[in-house]
Amino acid sequence: MNLTATAVRPARAALLAILLSGTATAALASEGALEGAAAEAADASDGASVSELTVTARRREETVQDVPLAVSVIAGARIDSVGAFNVGRLQQLAPTLQFYTSNPRNSSVNIRGLGSPFGLTSDGFEQGVGVYVDDVYSARVASATFDFLDVARIEVLRGPQGTLYGKNTTAGAISITTNQPTFDFEGKAELTAGTLDFRQAKAAISGPLSETLAARLAVSYTTRRGTIYNVTSRRWINAQDNLGLRAQLLFRPSDDLAVTFSGDFNRQNPKCCAQIYVRTGATQRALPRQYAALAAAQGYTVVSTNPFDRLTDVDSNLNAGNRIGGASARVKWDVGPGTLTSVTAWRFWDWKPENDRDFLGLSIVARSQNPSQHDQYSQELRYNYATDRIDAVVGAFAFHQRIDTQGTEQHGPASSRWNLTGALAANPAVLDGLVARNTQYLKNTSLALFGQASWKVTDAFTIQPGVRLNYDKKVGFYERKVFDGQGNPVLFGQTDPVKVAQRGVFAPQVSEPRFSDWNFSYDLTLSYALRRDVLAYATYARSFKTGGINQNGLPTDAAGNPILAAGSIRPESVDHFEAGLKSRFWEGRAILNLAAFRTDIGDYQATVTNGQLGVLRGYLANAGKVRSQGVEADFQVRPSERLSAYVNGAYADAKYLRFVDAPCPPELSGGTTATAGQTPSAPGTPGGISPANCDISGQRLPGVSKWSFSYGIEANLPGVLLGREGQAYAGFDGSYRSGFSSNPSPSAYTNVKGYALSNFRVGFRADDGIEVFGWVRNAFDVDYFEQLALGPSNTGLIVGQPGDPRTWGVTLKSAF
């Protein structure tokens, strides 16, 4: 890893852009403005300071520097200026945030490498990173794939957040606060056009309806051509097509009472999402049953072996139809010495996908779709109380969720050759039309009491304990019925070799997993003001992530019976240690925050994969123990009103401390399973002997870069454009992450190389609210992968998702 060279190139480019912006500004500015610019710049440092953002991380308003907690705060204006319009792009600004998605349903958000198992999403477990919008918890990470809509700020809280937030989260929380209705009339609009037919429109309007009623309406629409061309359908795929609407009504009959009603609807309907051919790697399957031999036997050649040609030939329909929305009522009532807050919410999610699960132009898997419908209801009550020495919050939370899924998996005429041996492999009719129809549901109930107090022992020293009592219950049902190409059922007990072969691909199954348990967690934070602008703190948290159930089917024994003991997984137990320092210096012009952390998790909930196509693509199991530890630094500086810069960095060492029975990587899979006394073959030995499982203790957790950085700079000069006074500016934002593993069990075939991305913008910001700027993202057209994955059946096929190429465009904004 050549970190120095990687980071220096964007920095040099940023300085060049700033110098060029001065030339552009001179062209825009009037003669009089230029004459006064030098004198104004000389005085610009007077009163310049880094803005102290207000946060509600501890359920009360305070500046971010006063919070003894590792939290990144990103203002809505900055989100708009850098084009971070969803969580996928937000991770370029928050180094310890990781977001992975192969489609909206199979999305995961991690902080410091923890939160969700890497791989296919299961409904039966909890996410370790909570996503909240205006205090409303969303049980589906799919909600994070939508565009941010009229956002005021986003707080990324790192570490366990169970004693202050409604839903227990062990790795952190993303709290999104939208702009609220106002009793002063205001509005804003934004239009963007760019390459790849990128079009984006945003608008919001707010104002009074009466002396006690105010309303706000916001809308966002984004569309973009796909980044990958499908030569089979002759269409661009992996596109964007997002629509978002939000309406809010504020009723304020008195200064003591405010009631906000909110409703939102979000829709996605792109041709998406395909993972494409990246490479092949040798497995331990017999050589005639590895990718090259199988493709040759069927006369198949992939359209391109270079993934950055951005070509594919997948032959199944693709769709990522996604609907998410809901309604909420939030009441804030000043009662006695404190404030009572009630948040009542209903959310829905409707998922209508179509996928190509063989990733090729061969009809191996002809259909793969698992539409789901999700409803959730939540109620949170909190009471905040504050005196000169004590701040406290106590709360109760109730949550119920139901998900129904109807799945269809069907094989095509190329499947027999790909998955069978001998004479059966030469007969396409054996698996052509074989279909599995899955029906499943999940009922999930969670109840909690929580509280946290902050006792100011002296003016400098504060003790902050917190507790949480939680009850969780999950009830699931899964049924798979299998039919051959003629519509006849495939059942256990049938001895016909064709039926036995079909059952080896799709086996009928019924399971009814359940889980319920109580948990008690707590934390303690000590903070000390070393001086006026320097705060030191230390935290210990004993937390948990509740147990779960395997909702997508269970692994089976040699007779094909589901292993019922695998129906539920134990809760994770979390021991979290953190120490930090928050400082503000140079008369408020600079901020430096440091944090060191270590999180140990016992009974870690890990994804276990099964390489046999159609049997069971993944399920959850408890690993022994994992640890994530590291350091983080956030630095901001504003030496004058004309210049500001930031550098955020993190080092994370996240690894399995103990996982002795993990699934093996592809280079050790696909051969004859070793029995007692047999020695497994070397990795990648065709026809070799594969271990039944692998010990990956000491190896890295998937998806986590050891080093990650975000950095940026903006410079401005006063000027005049088309008669409007304002500022001409140039900005640069960059990010870097080192390489990471993209498979639950580290594999040489799925390591993603590190990369740096650079974004530039140049524009004019008028004093009357008009702004126009041009931007370029991934300016140096870096080729990189968002993630890599394994193709089915241990053939050695590796597929992936190339990141976005260089794009550029123009944005026009107006605020009034």
Mean per-residue pLDDT over the chain, rounded? 88
Domain ranges for the chain, please list them: 3-815
- Relative to beta strand 618-622, strand 228-230 is unpaired
* DSSP 3-state of 78: helix
Most confident range, picked from 156-165, 199-208, 315-324:
199-208
Alpha carbon distance 485, 500 (integer Å): 15
Mean pLDDT of 35-41: 39
Mean pLDDT of 423-434: 95
pLDDT band of 609, cuts 50, 70, 90: low
- Best CA proximity match to 272, nearest among 223, 220, 201: 223
- Best CA proximity match to 377, nearest among 328, 340, 442: 328
Alpha carbon distance 312, 285 (integer Å): 26
Tokens read off for 744: 């639950």
Q: Which helix (H) or strand (E) holds 775?
A: strand 770-777
Convert the pLDDT of each residue in 584-599 to its tens digit: 999 999 999 999 999 9
CB 624 within 8 A of CB 658: yes
Q: Which residue has the tokens 């499943």?
A: 440
Alpha carbon distance 175, 184 (integer Å): 26
Rg over alpha carbons for the chain, rounded to the nearest Å, is 28
- Best CA proximity match to 404, nearest among 357, 358, 438, 446: 438
- Best CA proximity match to 142, nearest among 93, 177, 99, 113: 99
pLDDT band of 555, cuts 50, 70, 90: confident
pLDDT band of 143, cuts 50, 70, 90: low
Alpha carbon distance 123, 351 (integer Å): 13
In the CATH scheme, what architecture does the domain 3-815 have?
Beta Barrel (2.40)
Residue 7's pLDDT is 41
Alpha carbon distance 66, 150 (integer Å): 26
Residue 118's pLDDT is 67
Note the pTM of the prediction, 2 decimals: 0.89
Mean pLDDT of 2-28: 38
The side-by-side arrangement of strands in the sheet containing 311-312 is 235-237, 228-230, 311-312
Q: Which amino acid is at 220?
A: S
Convert the pLDDT of each residue in 559-579 to its tens digit: 777 778 788 889 999 999 999
Distances (CA, A) of 479 to 436, 508, 511, 626: 10, 8, 7, 33
Convert the pLDDT of each residue in 214-239 to its tens digit: 999 999 999 999 999 999 999 999 99
Alpha carbon distance 770, 767 (integer Å): 7
Convert the pLDDT of each residue in 261-320 to its tens digit: 999 999 998 889 999 999 999 999 999 999 999 999 999 999 999 999 999 999 999 999
* DSSP 3-state of 21: helix
pLDDT band of 792, cuts 50, 70, 90: confident
Mean pLDDT of 161-188: 91
